[in-house]
Amino acid sequence: MARNAAQDNPLAPVTLAVGQEDLLLDRAVQQVVAAARASDADTDVRDLTPDQLQPGTLAELTSPSLFAERKVVVVRNAQDLSADTIKDVKAYFAAPAEEITLVLLHAGGAKGKGLLDAARKAGAREVACPKMTKPADRLSFVRGEFRALGRSATPEACQALVDSIGSDLRELASAVSQLVADVEGTIDEAIVGRYYTGRAEASSFTVADRAVEGRAAEALEALRWSLSTGVAPVLITSALAQGVRAIGKLSSARGGRPADLARELGMPPWKIDRVRQQMRGWTPDGVAIALRAVAEADAGVKGGGDDPEYALEKAVVTVARAARASRGH
């Protein structure tokens, strides 16, 4: 590339954000945009999906401007670009335009690997955005959030926050920001408990746990309380999906110690024990029915229906019934 593409320079000609963690991908984009607008407040930002970047579009977007304006071109899901468009992007790597930063968001898998390899070979600045599936990774993330905000939190406080909030990085980041804004001094476990114990009891995971255990009334009660305290509906469908999938994965796994199964299935050992208790009596048909119900609810809360709350209630009841039917009740 014609310009310096140092890894610490967000205004490098090309930034490659690789992974499937949405929050980290969004932050990679935000960092580039912020740097560009710090250099030029009138920076033009174009945020495109693969279907919007057709052959020839990149050339149009990066053609010289009479006003020499700075521009950031963001391409999401770059692994889904058409073969002809990928040719355009690869050609662009050889001669990137001045005052323009191209940001490619790539899932990092085998699909579109040629584009990924070409960007790396060309010296693109790369930002890792891996999906954080392990509790230890989320714990490290929380510690990093506190450090980035210049605040200290005890190890127990960080663990309590992960236990209370769950796996969603956006929720974890938001919780850290709230604590930092509201609390002076070191943040300890007692402070986290005051803020989030009630939240944990009414969390999306509580809704999911009661549903997969076949306890419909308790699941509905937890659902209504969660919604009333501001838990996002999409977090609840995510928790329901995780709960049902965990049962399906564990029921088809080989027997063994929790530690061995935890490594095989990517779950913490304590969750293996919990899911073993929840899965008693579940059948493959029950899991399939429950997953379909959760998928329908997920579509409903993301705009496919008029009443997200009803979509969630329907899913919770269906999951609980599937659990009870699987138990022969």
Residue 65 has pLDDT above 70, yes or no: no
The whole-number pLDDT of residue 7 equals 64
The whole-number pLDDT of residue 166 equals 74
The whole-number pLDDT of residue 190 equals 87
In sequence order, the 6+-apart residues with CB closer than 8 A to the CB of 301 are 233, 234, 236, 237, 308, 311, 312
CB-facing half-sphere around the CA of 256: CA atoms within 13 A: 13
Name all domains of the chain by residue range, CATH numbers in brackets: 14-129 (3.40.50.300), 135-196 (1.10.8), 204-323 (1.20.272.10)
Residue bearing tokens 């909030």: 165
Q: What is the pLDDT of residues 244-302, one digit of tens each?
A: 988 888 877 656 666 666 666 666 666 777 787 888 778 889 999 999 999 999 888 87
Instruction: Give the whole-angstrom CA distance, residue 132 versus residue 162.
Output: 12
C-beta neighbour count of 328 within 10 angstroms: 7
The whole-number pLDDT of residue 11 equals 93
Q: Span 126-147, mean pLDDT?
A: 92
CB distance 61 to 46 below 8 Å: yes
The whole-number pLDDT of residue 3 equals 42
The strand pairing partners of 126, in sequence order, are 16
Residue 16 has pLDDT above 70, yes or no: yes
The strand pairing partners of 101, in sequence order, are 72
CB distance 236 to 308 below 8 Å: no
Type of residue found at 127: V
Nearest 5°: the CA angle 295, 76, 149 is 90
Q: Phi, psi (5° rounding) for residue 14?
A: -135, 130
The whole-number pLDDT of residue 220 equals 92
What is this structure's pTM?
0.59
Residue 145 has pLDDT above 90, yes or no: yes
Instruction: Give the whole-angstrom CA distance, residue 134 versus residue 314.
Output: 30
